[in-house]
Amino acid sequence: MLLVAGVDIGNSTTEVAIAQINGSKLEFYTSGIEKTTGVKGTKRNIRGIVNALNNALENTPYQIKDISLILLNEATPVIGDIAMETITETVITESTIIGHNPSTPGGVGFGVGTTISFQELMSHRGKEPVIPLINAGYDFADVAAEINHKLDQGIRIVGVIVQNDDGVLISNRLKTSMPIVDEVKYIDKVPVHMPAAVEVAESGRTIETLSNPFGIATVFNLDPEETKLVVPLSRALIGNRSAVVIKTPQGDVHARRIPAGKLMILGQHHKAEINIEAGADEIMSSVEKVKPVLDVRGEPGTNVGGMLERVRAVMSKLTDQPIETMAIQDILAVDTFAPKEVLGGVAGESALENAVGLAAMVKTSRLPMQQIAAALEKEIGVKVQIEGVEANMAILGALTTPGSAKPLAIVDIGGGSSDAAIINSQDQVFYTHLAGAGDMVTMLIKAELGLDSTLLAEAIKCSPLAKVESLFHMRMEDGSVKFFDQPLDPHLFSRVVVLNGNTMEPIETDHSMERIRTVRREAKRRVFVTNVLRALTRIAPNGNIRLLDFVVIVGGSALDFEIPEMITEALAEYKIVAGRANVRGMMGPRNAVATGLVLSYYQNLKNGSNG
């Protein structure tokens, strides 16, 4: 009896299928899965392989040393990164133009005046409108009393800027309603005796004047060139309930352009050069025009040039191959947004700037996989061989889905790559291997929501959302309401949370549940749906997707609660029947490649190809 293990090294997980071969009889025995260690296709994968094998054998009488043969797939590493489009920053000298959006501003309205310290306000007698600056050393009740006193004296106080979270407390004690912006952390950076505008919208509404570049131009009497430079600021304030904008005549506002750079796409017969600023659609159009892609280069000294060289350097180090041999065989470009800090801000203000996300697939030689096989064989004392290409193996595994038959097309969506393959009635297999999948979606969610944690972005990608509206109920993202017998954690009150099984993880952000959901779904569409259509076009007869009848979805991302529905909906337009695989009638969309590795070996063994 032979105990044979198929091992699928993925970007996120390593999966194992172990079968017993008795003469001409094949019987799958057990399966396992563990997190991939290191970058796919490198020696660091060995620990993850051993862990996955131990996981599969945990409740069996066997140990790793009892395995007769281990079969590996050919793993191609994929690295994703963001190459920013040209950014225009507001750079400040001496003082600043700022915007701010505290969670609980006070009062309502719009005021334009001159900034003044609270100490100076106490002795102020002028008639010009003023906006006092209240630092953390003053009590809100004393501040409100002094402002009321000055209003009684005829002093024109048109707005207030506060360091503490005291906006509502001060507003509730004033005789006259006025806009109050609080939580200005770096109030010491706010210049005094300078023109300023403070705006607070009514609850449920957003500001109108300071989120409009022409509104800012009107307030501060800017010329057309200066108006262009405040566009990043006004964009940062769109959707805010409150804002304060301050300008100093002594301060110079400069635009600093960070070049995104150009991509040089080298194909077998053609080449293309395109600026990142042209956007994802133009980049992907160029990729399709020059395919098959032999390499992609970035303009030296630019953002994208640095990104691609970093990808090459990382893969060169991990695979012990010369950097000049590192070729990028595919890229996926996606339009996105990324928050960019407005320099000179007093509370970490940022503006959403256009960006292009790039996933790059590095083509390495077969050598790294041979090195993995040799190192694994040495470590565990079991024979290891490379059995086949990932897509070919996946289609063999997918054919074990009950009800499937040839001809059949599959899409294998993993963490770093999207593969597609088709097998026709003559057993001919055509496949493609494309950059970009689950890891890129996580990257886009993290960038667009301005999150610090990749783990939180991953959780948002994989799980539905809810808003905790009381200690005993929450509203789900689909609009339904869920009630609880026991009170929820008070820290979750009024928070948007990610629902992962029975756990609720709060999302530390000011974004609404609707905004987070939109970012999540759009990121999935731009990566998964785009890549599935791109991959199926490459493998379809004559490049015509409409000639495909059945498409089976395999891979970890097929378990996602939204992706299969999105893909099925997109393929319905082409009258294609699509659905999740159920590998071996029990594994769902998982384990297709690992199962296919074992089946490939078994078929070759029967045909005498394995000796």
Tell whether domain 1-76+367-400+591-611 is in CATH 3.40.50.11260: no
| Angstrom distances, CA of residue 443 to CA of 81, 128, 363, 501, 524 | 8, 50, 22, 23, 11
> Is the model more confident about 540 or about 311?
540
Task: Judge whether 1-76+367-400+591-611 and 405-580 match in fold.
Answer: yes
Question: Please, which residues bridge with residue 411 across strands?
Answer: 420, 553
pLDDT higher than threshold 90 for residue 134: yes
Read off the pLDDT of residues 334-375 as tens digits, 9 standing for 90 and up. Answer: 988 776 665 555 555 566 667 888 888 887 666 678 889 999
Distance of CA 189 to CAs 135, 210, 344, 350, Å?
11, 20, 8, 17
| pLDDT at residue 340, as a whole number | 66
Q: What does the domain layout of the chain look like in residue ranges? A: 1-76+367-400+591-611, 80-86+259-363, 94-252, 405-580
Instruction: Tell whether the model's pLDDT for residue 122 goes beyond 70.
Output: yes
Q: What is the pLDDT of residue 282?
A: 93
pLDDT at 261 over 50: yes
CA-CA distance, 45 to 40, in Å (whole number)? 7
pLDDT tens digits, residue range 100-109?
667 778 999 9
Give me the pLDDT at residue 95, please: 33
Tell me the per-residue pLDDT of 589-604, one tens digit each, with 9 for 90 and over: 999 999 999 999 999 9
132: nearest Cα among 155, 154, 153: 155
Rounded-to-integer distance, Cα 476 and Cα 486, Å: 18
Average pLDDT taken over every residue of the chain: 86
User: May I ask the CATH class of domain 94-252?
Assistant: alpha beta
pLDDT band at 240 (very low <50, low <70, confident <90, very high): confident
Class of 80-86+259-363 per CATH?
alpha beta
Between 13-17, 248-252, 338-342, 387-391, the lowest mean confidence (pLDDT) is in 248-252
Cα separation of 606 and 603, whole Å?
5
- What CA–CA distance (Å, rounded) separates 164 from 140? 9
Kindly provide the residue ranges of all beta strands, DSSP E only, lying in 398-447, ordered along the sequence. 408-413, 417-423, 429-435
Q: Which of 279, 319, 426 is nearest to 38 (CA)?
A: 319
- Architecture of the CATH domain 405-580: 2-Layer Sandwich (3.30)
* pTM of the model as a whole: 0.73
Q: β-pairing, 109-117 with 130-134?
A: parallel
